Amino acid sequence: MIQFVSLFTWWVKDEKKREWLNQFLGFAIVGVTMTLFTIFLYFICFDIFDLPLKITYVGVYAGTVYISYLLNNKLVFRQDHSHLKLLLYYAVYLSGMLIGLVILHVFEQTLPFKKTVLSIMTIPITMVWNFILSALVLKSKKLSTSNKNAEC
């Protein structure tokens, strides 16, 4: 992924800035991909199978967070798998999901839209929250080092 993204950042001369930009763009590509996949799953779950709103929201969220962790950890930040990072990544996204559930509840009570639309409307808010915190978790060298020592 980073090799692909670096085709668009060749003009950045400072190597650290280029690496940061490559990671940011890679993270954004994974984020957009997972967002589109999430919307597709919402459509299937809500509009085709008419599953319950909040339970389905939690299930889809949990599954797509795991896929997001795998993609970002391996393809974007090129880190070895770390149980600690996975747990912290889920904690970040759990906090985002809780924020999303509160927003979803407010939307459900106040807006006359279908479940799919209401679920999609939470994405921009939770995406900003998740990006800021998950970048801190995945880029942390301290977490990788402490987890490797714990696993030995």
Written as one string, the DSSP assignment of 87-103 is HHHHHHHHHHHHHHHHH
For the segment 35-41, the average pLDDT, to the nearest whole number, is: 94
Tens of pLDDT, residue by residue over 47-87, are 999 999 999 999 998 999 999 999 998 998 888 888 999 99
Task: Give Cα 129 distance to the centre of its chain.
Answer: 10
| Structural domain count of the chain | 1
pLDDT of residue 7: 85
- Whole-number Å distance between alpha carbons of 114 and 116: 5
Q: Which domain holds residue 34?
A: 2-151
Flag whether pLDDT at 152 surpasses 50. no
Reported as a pLDDT band with limits 50, 70 and 90, residue 144 is low
Reported as a pLDDT band with limits 50, 70 and 90, residue 126 is confident
Both structure tokens of 29: 């590509």
